[in-house]
Amino acid sequence: MRFMLRRKPVMVVACVSLAILVFAASRFVSFIIWSDRIGNDLVRLALADTRLPVTLTVFGRSVDTVSAQLSFFTADGDRTGTLERSWAGWEIKIDCIMIKAGSGWLAFPFLLYTDASPRGSGVDLIRYYDRGGFPAIYDSTRLSAVERKAMRRLFALARTELWMPAFLGSLSHRTVGIRSFEPGVGYSLFVGRDGNLQIKAN
């Protein structure tokens, strides 16, 4: 009886681990299979040498902190979310999930942190533009039903990065930082044709 009781926790852990591994494998297999369609379904929304509707305004810097506001907008220009606070550090960094689509890129701001942030920490940015499972930064009255459905599926995949253990694999990420700035000036995230990110003054 004691032997059976001891085996139960081990079996539960094994089953949970197996379920996570199966999900991780299916996640990436489904993405590989579906990625061929991304270029067709979302090519019109892919960014190449253009700005993402995300604006960073740095208010100032003290001895060891930097204060800033990050604003998110829809593709039609409507504000959809704002993050404003001070962080320890001097350089603000934004980590984005980057997915190739046709000749451009689909970028999802993922994490904001500074040069003083502990490794792996930062502010979750997805929640500031997640509207019912759709990334509001790509929302527009001009979207077709096919584009909206495809974007919702892709965003669901991107959101798994919030909880998926890193050792099971990760989507492609790019990071951009700003250290020199003019206080009060708005800076936008700029996505290059090669997928590199820049922060440019508006």
List pLDDT tens digits, range 78-120.
Answer: 999 999 999 999 899 999 999 988 889 999 999 999 999 887 7
Q: How confident is the model at residue 5 (pLDDT cuts 50, 70, 90)?
A: very low
Residues present in the chain in total: 202
Is the pLDDT reported for residue 2 higher than 60?
Answer: no
The more confident residue out of 6 and 82 is: 82
Q: What residue spans define the domains of the chain?
A: 2-201
State how far the alpha carbon of 183 is from the alpha carbons of 51, 84, 115, 116, 179, in Å: 20, 14, 19, 20, 11
- Tens-digit pLDDT profile for residues 130-177: 999 999 999 999 999 999 999 998 998 888 887 665 655 578 899 999
Amino acid at residue number 87: W
State how far the alpha carbon of 90 is from the alpha carbons of 65, 67, 79, 181, in Å: 6, 9, 27, 11
Q: Which tokens hold the place of 181? A: 């700035």
Q: Are 157 and 55 in contact (CB under 8 A)?
A: no
